[in-house]
Structure 1
Amino acid sequence: MKSTLTAVAAALLSTTMGTTALAQEVETERHTLSLETISEGLNHPWGIVFLPSGDMLVTERSGTLNVITPDGKKTAIKGTPEVVAKSQGGLLDVNIDPNYADNGWVYISYSEPDPDGGKGNSTAVMRGKIDGDNWTQGEVVFRQAPKYESNAHFGSRLIFSPEGHLFITLGDRYSRMQDAQTLDNHHGKVVRIWPDGSIPEDNPFVGQSDALDEIWSYGHRNVQGAAIHPDTGELWTIEHGPQGGDEVNIPAAGKNYGWPTVTYGEDYGGGEIGIGTHKEGTEQPFYYWLPSIATAGSIFYTGDQFPHWKGDLLVTALRGQTIARLDLEDGRVLHEERMLEDATSFRIRDIEQGPDGFLYILTDADSGQLIKLSPVK
């Protein structure tokens, strides 16, 4: 069942100054949602994380890191690194250290220009601290290698494991080569490091002469969503496919997830990619979409505000303009609901659960919005 507008809400949809006004209430299968704009005028916002204070850090792909208060006051942080803000590149995800209250570290991922002046770029991760409205003590803890002349497929979610590892999801850089299938580069990989950039000794390819030590899993296309399962502690990833073949995976150490040799998608405009959907030695996705909804951010919902969604995986979509709710039970998907797609007209880049249990989404546009979702009592 798709989301539907109430009669009152339908009358409230209008377009002013290029921004679509929000419906006040949207029906879903299990909850009626109230949508409230917290902040707008954001230039392609990409990532969001809550600080212990209740304020939010929100990135704009154009290169700005913002602190946004719950009532919408926005402060831009000065001194963040230079980014290649072209096409899909720019300032991307943001997260805070599991021990942020003690150490104050903030982690950002971004498309980094070649420091030697070449035309290539790649995903990098820097950690730093926020002092007032200034970015300080910045240090790069990871650089995707090699630099590559492309402005696409940066991947770029940052997620901490229960043990304190930092997982970084990466794209294949739209290289159209077999880079995602070889271990001598970071294209199309999920990597796993310690927060200071050092390598965990139990990473699957440590000490292997033809592999990079940071690699956790490989054969990925463009992983733009990631979340830790609240019960198992496993990493789940959301992979943006081509024309079809968006995937949910549970990447295990050293496993190959097939791209571009196997995929459920096809090339843009039609045409086969690889050899089909199965090959010995590659893993099948946990779940996939045909056709593509253009997946992006994701979370497992663990709060109390939406009790009928507890434990479900929520996945945002760009082209699909929806939040896909996967109803999970006993390790399988019982049902998928696509929420908001009939009620709104915006691409949804990311989703986060606030400390209050409400949901917050970012819309991907030149004048994007930070929107709060709460249940109608």
Structure 2
Amino acid sequence: MLNLKTAGILSIISITALLSFNLKEKPIEKNGISDTPEANYQANCSGCHGAKMNAFVDRKWKYGKTPEDLFKSIKNGYKEDGMPAFAETFKDEEIKELANYIIKGIENVDRYNENEKPKSDIFETEEGKIKLVKVFDKVKIPWGIAFLPNKKMLVTDKSGELYIVNDDKSSVEVENVPEVRFAGQGGLMDVILHPNFASNQIIYLSYSKPNPTDASLQTTAILKAKLEGNKLVDAKDIFIALPYSKTRHHYGSRMVFGKDGLLYFSVGERGNNQENPQDTNNALGKLHRITDNGEIPKDNPFYGKAKAQESIFSYGHRNQQGLVLNPFTNEIWSHEHGPRGGDEINIHKKGANYGWAVVSYGINYNGKIMTPFTQKEGITDPIHYWIPSIAPSGMAFVNSDIYKGWKGNLMVGSLRFQYLNRCVIKDGKVIKEELLFKNIGRLREVRMAPDGYIYIGVEGEGVYKLMPI
């Protein structure tokens, strides 16, 4: 409803094309009318504006947002902007009630509006005060963090540097890091340790790899190497996502070892949403599973199938930049970027299709509907989604008692709105969210350290340790 022209939003929408919040396999053909403005909003408006009106955060209110403005917009519409008229759907009194309901609901989007940088390193939360202690500021874009057994950290900088950070905040740059394509969303990305790092000193890096024979192409690669002092030795790519692509975004690139001892990692669909994510013959738009040496487990869902990429564990993904082993259930959880709206949290099941771009809770960046479906038979639903998109990056479960009331919570960084999102989980669902450290900066990485403390990586700032006080 209202001003839908922002970025050309929904220019092709008509009344019959409006999505209801619970739209499944068939678009709603007739809008429902109820006795309450809330029910009318959910039936007729929530598909575009979010059940909690979250999508209004993207509006510029071209036609105003007073009760009178909203009444006019709802009743008469703005055909050229894709806003249908509801004069024949509702009586004037129902439109007034709906406008007042929206005015009240718009207050929900205020939580996304933060214009000033924090004035203190101490923040109030629902469960107490937290102090952010900066432990490393040399890194410009801290993409990945891993914790060494001697109280040191490995930190990747997207530009291509890998640092060993000491307990006293001093650092040394690691040598022999692979060449990366530092452009767009690509560069040096995630870093993790082998489960037996203490004895074998093996680490893994994910990065955007240039094609050695065509400088216009690049893709996601996983590198295995031994860390000797401040050098990488015996480095080799154990996975290269094919095909290479000219695009320089949607690399995915998070990694985690599962309880089964196998390496799981994400590869984005590289911007080709109509072909790659649903095609199991290529590696793009997938979650993969391999052994620590890069071999294919024989119980992978596509093992032995002609033409299929045997490393695929699940498919139908857009761009997963959060991946974690749930320490309480041993499931693999991820989050991924949606388009304009529809960022998701998923629990991964072997061989499952997660729907991109057959279904989505978001719309395209130009405002046009990508798909009329949010659910479809044979596609696994997300356990949670965000409208508007928060641009999630980094992900960690709180598994210690250091933070009062946070144990079992899921922490997610927001690049777009620049906060840490605390998700309260119950029975595999997000039942509550708290937005922490608002406007701190583009929050790229979230990790739990072995000592039970949470560390976050913030672009342009560095790495912080969360200290309860």
Partner residue, 1:28: 125
Among 383, 392, 408, the residue aligned to 1:295: 392
Contact 1:22 1:36 in 2 (8 A): no
Deviation at 1:120, TM superposition (A): 1.1
Q: TM-score, normalised by structure 1?
A: 0.91
Contact 1:22 1:35 in 2 (8 A): no
Secondary structure (helix, strand or coil) at the match of 1:309 reads coil
Deviation at 1:21, TM superposition (A): 7.4
Partner residue, 2:72: none
**Corresponding letter in the other structure for 1:372:** K
Contact 2:345 2:383 in 1 (8 A): yes
Partner residue, 2:13: none
Distance 2:130 2:205 in 1: 31
Secondary structure (helix, strand or coil) at the match of 2:214 reads coil
Distance 1:106 1:261 in 2: 36
Distance 1:45 1:156 in 2: 14
Distance 1:297 1:336 in 2: 16
Among 219, 234, 254, the residue aligned to 1:122: 219
Deviation at 1:267, TM superposition (A): 0.9
Contact 2:383 2:428 in 1 (8 A): no
Are 1:352 and 2:412 counterparts? no
Larger RCO (alpha carbons 8 Å, 6+ apart): 1
**Corresponding letter in the other structure for 1:280:** E
Deviations 1:244-300 (A, max 9, x none): 111000111111000011110111131111232122211111100001110011011
Among 193, 204, 208, the residue aligned to 2:305: 208
Among 164, 172, 176, the residue aligned to 1:67: 164
- Give the helix-richer structure, 1 or 2: 2
Deviation at 1:118, TM superposition (A): 4.5
Among 103, 106, 117, the residue aligned to 2:200: 103
Contact 2:127 2:404 in 1 (8 A): no
Contact 1:244 1:291 in 2 (8 A): yes
Are 1:363 and 2:458 counterparts? yes
Are 1:76 and 2:173 counterparts? yes
Partner residue, 2:261: 164
Deviation at 1:315, TM superposition (A): 0.7
Partner residue, 2:281: 184
Are 1:319 and 2:416 counterparts? yes
Secondary structure (helix, strand or coil) at the match of 2:405 reads helix
> In 2 relative to 1, CA 218–345 (structure 1 residues): closer, same or farther, beyond 3 Å?
same
- Give the strand-richer structure, 1 or 2: 1
Deviations 1:21-65 (A, max 9, x none): 762310111131001111113121100010111100000000000
Are 1:242 and 2:339 counterparts? yes
**Corresponding letter in the other structure for 2:450:** P
Could you tell me the percent identity over the aligned residues? 39
Across the two proteins, how many residue pairs are aligned to each other?
Answer: 359
Deviation at 1:220, TM superposition (A): 0.4
Partner residue, 2:249: 152
Deviation at 1:99, TM superposition (A): 0.6
Distance 2:376 2:341 in 1: 18
Are 1:255 and 2:352 counterparts? yes
**Corresponding letter in the other structure for 1:25:** I
Question: Which has the larger displacement, 41-50 or 84-93?
Answer: 41-50
Among 365, 368, 374, the residue aligned to 1:271: 368
Give ranges in structure 2 of 5+ residues lacking alignment.
Answer: 1-107
Distance 1:295 1:316 in 2: 5
Deviation at 1:325, TM superposition (A): 1.1
**Corresponding letter in the other structure for 1:245:** G
Distance 1:213 1:44 in 2: 33
**Corresponding letter in the other structure for 1:79:** N
Distance 1:114 1:224 in 2: 23
Contact 1:54 1:355 in 2 (8 A): no
Answer with 1 or 2: which has the greater Rg.
2
Among 200, 204, 225, the residue aligned to 2:322: 225
Partner residue, 1:372: 465
